[in-house]
Chain A
Amino acid sequence: MELLNDVFTAKAIFIGIVFAITLGVAAYSTYFERKIAAFMQDRIGPDRAGPFGILQPLADAVKMFMKEDFIPANSNKWLFIAGPCLSMLTALMTSAVVPFGDTVTISGVTFDLQGIDVNIGILWVFGIVSLGVYGILVGGWASNNKYSLLGAIRAASQNISYELAMGMSIIAILMLSGSLSTKAIVETQQAGHWNILQQPLGFVIFLICAFAECNRTPFDLPECETELIGGYHTEYSSMKLGFYLFAEYINMFISGAVMATLFFGGYDYPGYAYIAAQLGSNAATFIGMGALIGKALLFVFVFMWVRWTLPRFRYDQLMGLGWTGLIPLSMFNVVVTGFGILIDQPILAGVGGIVILLVGLIVNDALSRKKKIA
Chain B
Amino acid sequence: MKLSNKTKVLEQGEMTLAERMYLPAIVGGMATTLKHFFSKPVTIRYPEQQRYLGPIYRGHHILKKDEQGAERCTACGLCAVACPAEAISMVAEERKKGEEHLYREEKYAKVYEINMLRCIFCGLCEEACPKEAIFLRHDKMVPVFNTRDEVIYGKDKLVENMDQRYLRDGWK
Contacts and interface: CB of A to CB of B under 8 A. Distances in A.
A38 B42 CA distance: 11
Contacts of B32: 309
Interface in B24-64: 26, 29-30, 32-34, 36-37, 39-43, 45
A58 interface: no
Given A305-B33, A310-B29, A39 B41 contact: yes
Closest 5 CB pairs of A and B: A365-B17, A44-B43, A309-B33, A40-B33, A309-B29
Given A361-B17, A362-B17, A365-B17, A308 B43 contact: no
A36 interface: yes
B39 A42 contact: yes
B142 interface: no
Nearest to A204: B23
B41 A308 contact: no
Contacts of A41: 36
Interface of B: 16-17, 21, 26, 29-30, 32-34, 36-37, 39-43, 45
A361 B30 CA distance: 24
Contacts of A40: 33-34, 36-37
Given A39-B37, A40-B37, 18 more contacts: A38-B41, A39-B36, A39-B41, A40-B33, A40-B34, A40-B36, A42-B36, A42-B41, A43-B42, A44-B43, A47-B45, A305-B33, A306-B30, A309-B26, A309-B29, A309-B33, A310-B29, A361-B17
Nearest to A40: B33
Nearest to B17: A365
Interface string A273-315: 0000000000000000000000000000000011011100000
Interface string A335-374: 0000000000000000000000000011001000000000
Nearest to A306: B30
Contacts of B41: 38-39, 42-44
Contacts of A43: 41-43
Interface in A6-46: 36, 38-44
A42 B40 CA distance: 6
A314 to B, nearest CB: 13
A13 to B, nearest CB: 38
Given A362-B17, A365-B17, A44 B33 contact: no
B21 A361 contact: yes
A270 to B, nearest CB: 24
A309 to B, nearest CB: 5
22 contacts: A36-B37, A38-B41, A39-B37, A40-B36, A42-B40, A42-B41, A42-B42, A42-B43, A43-B41, A43-B42, A43-B43, A44-B43, A44-B45, A47-B45, A305-B30, A306-B26, A308-B33, A309-B30, A309-B33, A310-B26, A362-B17, A365-B16
Contacts of A42: 36, 39-43
Contacts of A361: 17, 21
A32 to B, nearest CB: 12
A204 B41 CA distance: 32
A36 B17 CA distance: 32
A305 B29 CA distance: 10
A305 B36 contact: no
Contacts of B21: 361
Contacts of A44: 41, 43, 45
Contacts of A365: 16-17
A362 B17 CA distance: 7
A303 to B, nearest CB: 12
Nearest to A313: B22
Nearest to A38: B41
B165 to A, nearest CB: 36
A151 B144 CA distance: 43
B26 to A, nearest CB: 6
Nearest to B28: A309
B28 to A, nearest CB: 10
A195 B26 CA distance: 24
Nearest to B39: A42
A139 B88 CA distance: 60
A43 B32 CA distance: 15
Contacts of B40: 42
B32 to A, nearest CB: 7
Nearest to B31: A309
A361 B33 CA distance: 29
Contacts of B26: 306, 309-310
A128 B71 CA distance: 80
- Scoring A306, A309, A361 by chain B CB atoms within 10 A of each residue's CB, the highest score goes to A309
Contacts of B30: 305-306, 309
Contacts of A47: 45
